[in-house]
């Protein structure tokens, strides 16, 4: 999990854990109290909790800082944590605050678009069967559901939903056609495996973590050189934490296997890169803070060629090897301290 830094407060990362999978939509104070109670329970490997940071920039995630480093280690070692009580049942994912990042994605799906064609409860059951590694929250009345999983699982989820959407379009065409005599149970979606949306027939599609992709593209020359070497074009669609690549041949039908080779190479390379990187995030709060942090990052970035600095309106992401990002973060904090003296 990536760490998030507020200039006003710099916590000891070795005593802090990241808790993901918290139910969304509850009162923040109530959820903070329940998290504190859970992790102070010795049956959960817990101990004295010094602080709970919630909400954070990552939905459904909290930062829990213990008084003792050994307690944080015990909690992470236990692995399985379930938050039950007033919130029902929630399976939590716990990791060290300093752990390398980009291992999973959380997203909210709006399945209401399928409601006129299929029972949403059946669709969710199909999702669980097809992609058992996904963690799904209870289905809400408005058709929304939260999902969490690896990027491979999210990619499978996307393909599964695209297949279902394509199947429904085809079924509607059959209904309108005099020859459309095929009948299926509308309470469950079972699209034929051979049925693929038009957008997926052309080229190869690949889903990556946005931060990993940006680092690959901007800091590793191998990305552009591979596209040139195999004569392929890559359409990049960034959607929050997920980036979708559509890889197509640049020279008509020549070398059709190039698309697949490039996809496999980028997939393997980004997967390895994914575990080598760490992200630090500076939250921009207050006019003076924003000015000092931006100035520090701009001035220091040239001294850290392995670090990628992404500027946003509300925050700044710093991505790179763990040692480089740690030293960069340390220098930024020192720069700010000198500025405010």
Q: What is the pLDDT of residue 200?
A: 42
Q: Spell out the residues 6+ positions from residue 48 whose beta carbon is closer than 8 angstroms to its own.
A: 40, 66, 67, 68, 71
Distance separating alpha carbons of residues 323 and 334, to the nearest angstrom = 17
Q: What is the pLDDT of residue 7?
A: 39
Phi/psi at 337 (5° precision): -60, -40
How confident is the prediction for the chain on average, in pLDDT? 77
Distance separating alpha carbons of residues 336 and 187, to the nearest angstrom = 59
Q: Spell out the residues 6+ positions from residue 128 whose beta carbon is closer than 8 angstroms to its own.
A: 134, 136
Of 34-48, 53-67, 142-156, the least confident: 142-156
Highest mean pLDDT among 29-43, 169-183, 184-198: 29-43
CA nearest to 78, candidates 122, 19, 164: 19
Q: Has residue 54 got a pLDDT over 50?
A: yes
Distance separating alpha carbons of residues 85 and 198, to the nearest angstrom = 46
Q: Is the pTM above the cut of 0.75?
A: no
Distance separating alpha carbons of residues 331 and 337, to the nearest angstrom = 10
């Amino acid at each position: 999990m990536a760490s998030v830094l507020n200039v006003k407060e710099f916590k000891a990362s070795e005593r802090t854990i990241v808790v993901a999978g918290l139910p969304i939509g509850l009162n923040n104070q109530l959820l903070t109290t329940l998290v504190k109670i859970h992790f102070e329970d010795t049956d959960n490997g817990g101990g004295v909790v010094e602080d709970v940071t919630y909400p954070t920039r990552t939905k459904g995630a909290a930062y829990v800082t213990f008084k003792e480093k050994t307690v944080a280690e015990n909690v992470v070692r236990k692995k399985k944590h379930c938050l039950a009580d007033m919130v029902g049942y929630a399976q939590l994912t716990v990791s060290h605050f300093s752990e390398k990042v980009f291992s999973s994605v959380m997203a909210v799906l709006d399945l209401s678009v399928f409601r006129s064609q299929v029972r949403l409860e059946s669709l969710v059951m199909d999702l669980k069967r097809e992609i058992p590694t996904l963690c799904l929250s209870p289905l809400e009345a408005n058709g929304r559901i939260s999902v969490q999983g690896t990027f491979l699982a999210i990619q499978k989820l996307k393909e599964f939903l695209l297949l279902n959407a394509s199947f429904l379009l085809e079924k509607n065409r059959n209904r309108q056609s005099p020859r459309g005599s095929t009948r299926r149970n509308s309470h469950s979606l079972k699209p034929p495996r051979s049925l693929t949306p038009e957008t997926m027939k052309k080229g190869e599609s690949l889903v990556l973590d946005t931060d990993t992709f940006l680092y690959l593209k901007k800091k590793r020359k191998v990305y552009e050189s591979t596209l040139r070497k195999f004569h392929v074009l890559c359409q990049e669609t960034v959607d929050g934490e997920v980036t979708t690549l559509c890889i197509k041949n640049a020279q008509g039908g020549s070398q059709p296997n190039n698309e697949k080779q490039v996809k496999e190479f980028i997939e393997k390379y980004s997967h390895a890169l994914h575990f080598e990187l760490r992200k630090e995030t500076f939250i921009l709060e207050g006019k003076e803070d924003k000015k000092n942090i931006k100035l520090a990052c701009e001035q220091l970035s040239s001294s850290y060629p392995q670090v990628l600095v992404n500027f946003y309106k509300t925050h700044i992401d710093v991505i790179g090897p763990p040692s480089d990002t740690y030293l960069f973060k340390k220098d930024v904090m020192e720069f700010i301290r000198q500025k405010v003296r």
